[in-house]
A and B are shown apart, each in its own frame.
Chain A
Amino acid sequence: MSALRRWVAVVREALATAWAQPVASVVTIVMVAGMCATVLLTTGRTVGAEQAVLGSIDSEGTRSIVIRAEPDAGLDATVLGRLAHIDGIQWAGAFGGAQDVTNIEFPGATKIPLRLVWSSQLDHLGITALPPVANASVWASPAALAGLGMPDAVGGVVDGSGLDFAVTGQLTTPDFLAFLEPLTIAPQTADTPGTVSVLVIIAERPDLVAPVAEAVQSVLGVTDLTKVTLTTSENLATLRGMVEGQLDSFGRSLVVVIFALTAVLVAAILYGLVMLRRKDFGRRRALGASQTLIIALLLTQTGALALVGATIGSIAAGIGLAASGDPLPGWDFVGAVALLSTTIGVIAALLPALAAARRDPLKELRVP
């Protein structure tokens, strides 16, 4: 018999044995489900809260670098090409100086600042299509549209010199650009020259803010650094790192303690179940089952039951967390806990399996 067929036979026998012993199987499933659910309902709740807290302070604001340049500082749109060579940057956009525009239909109406913008990642602002008229179309945020009296984002704006732009659509202002509100932008192609007044850069991770900021300063290409101011969220990033570290440490300790306690409980109960079945293992050994086969059978059986238990426990915990309105931990965390619960169930069965395999077959057979 091939190794695969033999393994299939072991799995079939393990499942048949589990099916034939409903009480022991249900107890095993309930124990592992309880272990999995306990971890998810305690640590999972902690992780969910941690993710929510970090999510709140981890909007791009904690990773932003803002450089403001005076008009004669010499910062121009070519800086984006140089930034492309720096690692650790998730997003970069260069904004020109603000020029007031009004609704072309109401020349004396509220003035809204319009900025030329250079960026290859305008999809962050909800702009996915190319401008129908290069360098002459504008997008406006809801706040800007309200100021322009243009709720449907259809119409045109005109600046003080009489230059007009077509309003093409509404943009979504991300948190890191909130300081530019009300925001109206005219996207420019990369080869369009222009002076940059505000350069906004988002680092990939909070801990990269400081090194990226340092690297950015070296490629600004300005003639007078005193006319440039750089603002970073480095302090906020540091605080975020500390909060994350403390929450992670607490969560890990909680997981270890809960898993350790439940693993001991699972092992003790499994040992009891194996002792109840010692006659079964004695018969198997007497009839020719090797110790390895006994161990494989017991571990496979426990593994299958633990998998069912972990699945049930995860679903039950998910329902419980949803019902209580607590934040749900991510799927990766749930999957990891389920996998770990199953593994612990199998490991907990190892000692009883070894004990079962080493039982004297004759002694067990002669027990009344």
Chain B
Amino acid sequence: MVDTIRLAAQDITFGYVPTVPILSGWSADFRAGEVVAITGPSGRGKSTLLYVLGLMLEPTAGQVNINGTDAAHRRDVDRANLRAHQYGFVFQDAALDATRTVLDNIIETTLYRGTPRRLAIRRAHELMDQFGVALRAGAKPGQVSGGQAQRIALCRALLNDPQILLADEPTGNLDPASSDLVVEALHAQAHRGAAVIVVTHDPALVARCDRRLEL
């Protein structure tokens, strides 16, 4: 069981070009145990917001508070450490390493956290069983379908039982049955005490989230 966590965005302002902010004074609270959907038209900065919350982008103003402490402006090494230990990410295009096997991709973050590889492999097999990709463990990402790649990315995100799970269009490439599996996994992680934030255009997914934030 993950520890209960509270994530808050306070007056977040960000622009790839500083004079043209994509996000301006945006605030929201994310509580452990809930799945929050962020929706809105393309180009409004949904993914950008997700990456700011994920400490990959440093806001030009505002804070990203984790349990009351600003994490957005900490040193790079500290933010990397937080991403490795407290976050799980599902990227829009899965972002798998095409040169490594599915299993290697899932346990990749073990190195960044410094946790034992043996335990990670055991947990990875459990997750692959759960998401129906166990038979692809030795395959390369180029040999799996888009839907399988997305489920593999979800396995990787869940491997370290993250306190904050960020997912960018996690059901974008999935059939309805696989989408159900993913949604259930997101809720399961929320019930384990994680704050789950999903950027999506999928109305079915939005409908099954606990809360919706429109950008």
Footprint of B on A, CB under 8 Å?
A: 1, 6, 9-10, 13, 16-17, 20-21, 279-280, 283-293, 361-362, 365
Residues of B within 8 A of A10 (CB): 111
Residues of B within 8 A of A17 (CB): 99-100
Shortest B83–chain A CB gap in Å is 4
Within 8 A of A (CB), among B32-86: 51, 54, 56-57, 76-77, 80-85
Bound-complex Cα distance A284 to B84 (A): 10
Query: B113 contacts A288, CB within 8 Å?
Result: yes
Within 8 A of A (CB), among B82-137: 82-85, 87, 89, 91, 95, 97, 99-100, 104, 108-117
Query: B56 contacts A361, CB within 8 Å?
Result: yes
Q: Given contacts A1-B116, A280-B97, A283-B95, is CB(A291)–CB(B76) below 8 Å?
A: yes
| Besides A13-B111, A280-B99, A362-B56, 6 other A-B contacts (C-beta < 8 A) | A9-B114, A284-B108, A288-B113, A289-B111, A290-B77, A365-B95
Residues of A within 8 A of B114 (CB): 1, 6, 9
Query: A289 contacts B112, CB within 8 Å?
Result: yes
What would 22 A/B residue contacts be, using CB atoms closer than 8 Å? A1-B114, A9-B111, A17-B99, A17-B100, A279-B95, A286-B54, A286-B83, A286-B89, A287-B83, A287-B89, A287-B108, A288-B80, A288-B84, A288-B85, A288-B112, A289-B80, A290-B76, A290-B81, A291-B76, A291-B80, A362-B57, A365-B91
Query: B57 contacts A285, CB within 8 Å?
Result: no
Residues of A within 8 A of B95 (CB): 279, 283, 286, 365
Query: On chain B, which size bracket covers the interface?
Result: 20 to 34
- Chain A interface helix/strand/loop/mixed: helix
Residues of A within 8 A of B110 (CB): 9
| Closest residue on chain A to residue B114 by CB atoms | A1
| Closest residue on chain A to residue B97 by CB atoms | A280
Shortest B14–chain A CB gap in Å is 11
Shortest A231–chain B CB gap in Å is 72
Query: A293 contacts B97, CB within 8 Å?
Result: no
Shortest B166–chain A CB gap in Å is 10
Query: A289 contacts B84, CB within 8 Å?
Result: yes
Bound-complex Cα distance A365 to B89 (A): 12
Shortest A248–chain B CB gap in Å is 46
Shortest B197–chain A CB gap in Å is 15
| Closest residue on chain B to residue A291 by CB atoms | B76
Residues of A within 8 A of B54 (CB): 286
Residues of B within 8 A of A285 (CB): 56, 80
Query: A288 contacts B81, CB within 8 Å?
Result: yes
Residues of B within 8 A of A280 (CB): 97, 99
Q: Given contacts A13-B111, A20-B99, is CB(A287)–CB(B104) below 8 Å?
A: no
Residues of A within 8 A of B111 (CB): 9-10, 13, 289, 293
Residues of B within 8 A of A284 (CB): 108, 112
Instruction: Among A16, A21, A289, A361, point to the contact of B104 (Cβ < 8 A).
Output: A16
| Closest residue on chain B to residue A19 by CB atoms | B99
| Closest residue on chain A to residue B101 by CB atoms | A20
Residues of B within 8 A of A286 (CB): 54, 56, 83, 89, 91, 95
Query: A288 contacts B91, CB within 8 Å?
Result: no
Bound-complex Cα distance A16 to B108 (A): 11
Bound-complex Cα distance A292 to B77 (A): 8
Shortest A286–chain B CB gap in Å is 6
Residues of B within 8 A of A293 (CB): 111-112
Shortest B1–chain A CB gap in Å is 21
Query: A288 contacts B57, CB within 8 Å?
Result: no
Within 8 A of A (CB), among B176-193: none
Residues of B within 8 A of A290 (CB): 76-77, 80-81, 112
Instruction: Among B83, B97, B100, point to the contact of A288 (Cβ < 8 A).
Output: B83
Bound-complex Cα distance A291 to B79 (A): 11
Bound-complex Cα distance A6 to B108 (A): 14
Bound-complex Cα distance A16 to B111 (A): 13
Shortest A358–chain B CB gap in Å is 9
Query: A9 contacts B108, CB within 8 Å?
Result: no
Shortest A70–chain B CB gap in Å is 84
Query: A287 contacts B77, CB within 8 Å?
Result: no
